[in-house]
């Protein structure tokens, strides 16, 4: 894999935000879109770009697709791991995304019941029934 192509794949805020979430484990597309406050098509488009460059890998479980970081790529390009571990926590939106992820995990939500919940206007997860 070409380092230039990897750098291009990392050159988008939403893709960086997705990687920031995945550094702590796998997530379903619907969880990513919910936590980041982006549409399903937007999340899928960015995940496809990351998959093509093998920065993330995915596994299909029933109707859900779960994404995680590709450990082989992190070994091949250690600067990605450095970025994830030491730089993203300095970016305000990435810090907020991690707070949203923590809140989401504490809520006990799953992909199956996620559709019953929505965001507030500040783009942070709020777990209120429609």
Q: For the segment 78-106, what is each residue's pLDDT rounded down to a tens digit?
A: 999 999 999 999 999 999 999 999 999 99
| Token representation of residue 32 | 């990513």
Per DSSP, the three-state class of 85 is helix
If one counts the domains in the chain, the total is: 1
Q: Decide if pLDDT at 2 tops 70.
A: yes
Domain hosting 93: range is: 3-129
What is the pLDDT at residue 44? 94
Read off the CATH number of the domain in which 40 is found.
1.10.10.10
pTM as predicted:
0.86
* Opening angle at CA 29, ends 24 and 32, nearest 5: 50
Q: For the segment 16-49, what is each residue's pLDDT rounded down to a tens digit?
A: 999 999 998 999 999 999 999 999 999 999 999 9
């Amino acid at each position: 894999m070409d380092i230039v192509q990897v750098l291009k794949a990392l050159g988008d805020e939403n893709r960086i935000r997705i990687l920031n979430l995945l550094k702590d484990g796998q997530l379903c597309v619907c969880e990513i879109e919910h936590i980041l406050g982006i549409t399903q098509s937007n999340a899928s488009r960015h995940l496809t770009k990351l998959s093509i460059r093998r920065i993330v890998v995915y596994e299909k479980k029933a109707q859900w697709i779960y994404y995680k970081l590709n450990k082989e790529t992190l070994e091949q390009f250690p600067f990605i791991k450095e970025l994830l571990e030491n730089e993203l926590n300095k970016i305000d939106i990435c810090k907020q995304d991690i707070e949203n992820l923590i809140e989401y995990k504490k809520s006990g939500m799953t992909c199956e019941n996620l559709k019953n919940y929505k965001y507030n206007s500040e783009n942070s997860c709020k777990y209120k029934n429609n």
